[in-house]
A = this chain, B = another copy of it.
């Protein structure tokens, strides 16, 4: 007798980007921040008392919630801390989208969404982006026809780096009867001059939840810490019912709080990444590799057919540089390249120049 549920048996799990053993590898494949976390995080780690670990942690990371509330100008009750942003995505399905109900996502998008939909056994409505990666017309009508209960949007978008402005998001929130999830994993890298701020939508609408993570902007992918922001009606059931009782640990809570309190220091890394992003785009263009304007810490690079994206990825790999290739329609001829530090970006461009000569 097979024990797995049918939806799980059919599923191929999510495949995370490669984590190389060698510290010499130049990792431009999983959108990690190339600079270290704020100094206060190291300080918070040093002051952890090991004996404190005897006790269960604060179930809801109350100290962190207060800080996050202050940072975003919302009440602590509008924050749910999670063990990495992925947990929030799962909780959103567990709490609001039942088996057989419909989750809508854009195609392409974060490749974890379809996996989570399968695990939750819900229907997946994949809506193709336009050829220029803009949103298709008639989206609200389509969502209504298909009775979508939730739309998950990664914004700025992965893997293109494109940002949907708040005006468009506001219209979408207004015209959609389900829950609009804004996965802002990369939002810290948006050009400040754009004045992008989607938090007010969580006050204006009853159906908007925002995901934030410390993985990218705060250089803490290894810590597994993120949080949801939204109206209490949406946050409360996740905070008090569907979340594992102690989903974040004592050490992570302390370090996450220290990180968020060091927003200004972290923002210096965002600035450096934006500067490098601009430089990298220009250098890639000189080599004949076109990229989309990006508001994230990565670029989606179109690889000339004469070389081939998959082959180029392989060649880079052989000299210790990892980038990400997605073997799916419209992405086959592209590579997603994380913006590294200045040295890494220089080495990358040097190698590409060699290969493309």
Contacts and interface: CB of A to CB of B under 8 A. Distances in A.
Interface of A: 1, 3-9, 11-14, 16-17, 19, 27, 30, 32-37, 41-42, 45, 48, 50-59, 83-84, 86-87, 90, 94-99, 112, 115, 119, 121, 149, 177-179, 207, 215, 219-225, 233-234, 237, 240-242, 244-252, 255
A19 B59 contact: yes
19 contacts: A3-B178, A3-B179, A5-B97, A8-B241, A11-B241, A14-B245, A16-B246, A17-B56, A19-B58, A36-B51, A41-B53, A53-B219, A57-B221, A84-B247, A90-B244, A98-B121, A119-B242, A224-B246, A251-B252
Chain A facing B: main interface SS: loop
A41 B225 CA distance: 22
B37 A222 contact: no
A223 B250 contact: yes
A207 B247 CA distance: 27
A221 B90 contact: no
Contact of A237 (B4, B179, B233, B242): B4
A98 to B, nearest CB: 5
Contacts of A224: 57, 246-249
A249 B222 contact: yes
A83 B83 CA distance: 9
